[in-house]
Structure 1
Amino acid sequence: MKYYAIIVAGGSGNRMQTETPKQFLLLKNLPVLMHTIKAFAQSDTQPKILLVLNKEQQGYWKRLCEEFNFRIPHQVIDGGAERFYSVKNAINSINEESFVAIHDAVRPLVSKKLIDGCFKEAELHGNVIAAVQSSDSVRMFKDDKTSALKRNEIFLVQTPQTFSLKILKEAYRQDYSVSFTDDASVVEAIGEAIHILEGERNNIKITYPVDLELAELLLKR
């Protein structure tokens, strides 16, 4: 069986209060994105790595690879206007029977154990997503009212989200919808039940400045 990892790096630096897209910010003297690619390259599954990047950022990425002597093999795929189209471009470049893990470029602390576990579970069930149970109380706001939800029924979704290529090809033939917030929601829309594998608290997404500080601390540990 063949394995692929699609690393989606389409984010901007807006919420980081910086002009530099967050996937290129330095984390322990290495761009965030390089940590993410290294995680997949060091897994037992050894997937072929597809990096989805906006055309305007590809030259900058190439210069970063030269500056940091980054030699991990990966194929760069053109990003789209929405994450949906970015992932679709990558999926369309794969033509052999395989399992595909889709991962946020700005989740650089994903472990080898979680990556390999997701591939194994996807082989068993056809798909699996990493998610953690909410440790906070959760309320829903609707029609100007709030109501408590059962915390043990709430899961916070992470990546990798891993699927058979066959399922992904079918799912991404759909027209884009604003309700597609992640790959699992795209796949669910064709009637597939989504399976969950326990994620990791350390598998944080770099979105705000405090996230970068936390990632630095976790790496030191």
Structure 2
Amino acid sequence: MQYEVVLPAAGSGKRMGAGQNKLFLELLGKPILIHTLEVFEQHENCTGIWLAVKPEERAFIREMLASYGISKVKGLPDGGAERQHSVHSCMKEMEQVDIVLVHDAARPFITHAIIANLVQSAHDFGAAIAGVRAKDTMKKVRDGIIEETVDRESLWMIQTPQAFRFDLIVEAEDVAEKVGFLGTDEAMLVERLGHAVHIVESTYENVKMTTKEDLLFGEAILRRRVAETY
């Protein structure tokens, strides 16, 4: 089942402390952004990629796409101050498609199998997101004091991609813009419409490159995957 994917790529990456867009940092000699793009470039069901970028980085990113043979990018609209604004910027330029995925450009380890499950679930139910079950004991804390221990059996750590029927995510984005609501992710915007969002179990390898420690984890994952191909 075919889909298009939106990748917000206009962040600053302050927590990485790299002094540049963290997506340009390399994992085993290749930029994080390219690792992520290659997942969708190599997936036969992906018919288009949309990258929300900083205007001052657009030319550099175009050169990077050409250098690594990334051909599915359909547009590079201006990113916004917040992730939600960047996604909406892409959605405004897209033509009607069946399914839209929104994925963190800094999550290069998502697999085709999980993507396929998300796309199918979004087709069947309208909205689906990737996540993994909480592994640690969870506490609710206020002002540095534990108020209660939360049952982790019902808790999931949410990742991306998040997948939606095109009309549903367009409506959710438009409504949020009209009322000035800023959500933490696209699923939250859909939830505000009263629409159920289904969960698709992902893997703990689908980590987001956020801190310098994540780069070490990322390289370890890549080395293992390379080793498994031989």
In the superposition, the TM-score normalised over structure 2's length comes to 0.90
| 8 Å Cα contact 1:109-1:203 kept in structure 2 | yes
Deviation by residue 1:129-187 (Cα, 9 ceiling, x = unmatched)? 00100001111113654211111111000000000011011101123324x00010111
- Superposed displacement of residue 12, structure 1: 1.4
Distance change in 2, residues 1:199/1:69 (3 Å): closer
Q: How does 1:21-32 map to 2 (within 5 A)?
A: 21-32=21-32
Q: Is the 8 A contact 2:38 2:70 kept in 1?
A: no
Report the AA paired with residue 139 of structure 1: K
Unaligned runs of 5+ in 1: none
Answering whether residue 4 of structure 2 is matched by residue 11 of structure 1, we say no
Give the % identical residues.
32
Aligned residue for 1:165?
166
Match of 1:118, as an amino acid? Answer: L
Are 2:220 and 1:217 equivalent residues in the alignment?
Answer: yes
8 Å Cα contact 2:16/2:212 also seen in 1: yes
1:80-119 Cα shifts (integer Å, max 9, x gaps): 1211111111111122242000000000011111111111
Distance change >3 Å, CA 142–CA 47, structure 1 → 2: farther
Letter in 2 for 1:121: S
CA drift at 1:15:
1.0
Contact (CA 8 Å) 1:2, 1:96: kept in 2 or not?
Answer: no
Deviation at 1:195, TM superposition (A): 0.6
What's the CA shift for 1:2? 5.0
Quick one: distance in 1 between partners of 2:206 and 2:81?
Answer: 26
2-structure distance, mates of 1:48, 1:64:
17
Listed as ranges, the matches of 1:157-196 within 5 Å are 157-174=158-175, 175=177, 176-178=180-182, 180-196=183-199
- Structure holding more helix per residue: 2
Aligned twin of 1:77: 77
Q: In the superposition, relative to structure 1, how do residues 197 and 71 fare at CA in structure 2: closer, same or farther (>3 Å)?
A: closer
**Does the 8 Å contact 1:27/1:212 carry over to 2?**
yes
Gaps of 5+ in 2: 225-230
Q: Which moved more, 1:198-207 or 1:3-12?
A: 3-12
Give distance in 2, aligned partners of 1:154 and 1:170: 27
Q: Distance in 2 between matches of 1:143 and 1:30?
A: 42
Aligned CA-pair RMSD? 1.6
Counterpart CA distance in 1 for 2:15 and 2:153 is 30
In the other structure, the counterpart of 2:227 is none
Partner Cα separation in structure 1 for residue 15 and residue 160 of structure 2: 20
TM-score (normalizing by structure 1): 0.93
Aligned residues: 219
Summarize the Cα distance change of 1:185–1:154 in structure 2 as closer, same or farther, 3 Å threshold: same
- Kindly provide the amino acid, as one letter, of the partner of residue 81 in structure 1: A
Shift of 1:65: 3.2
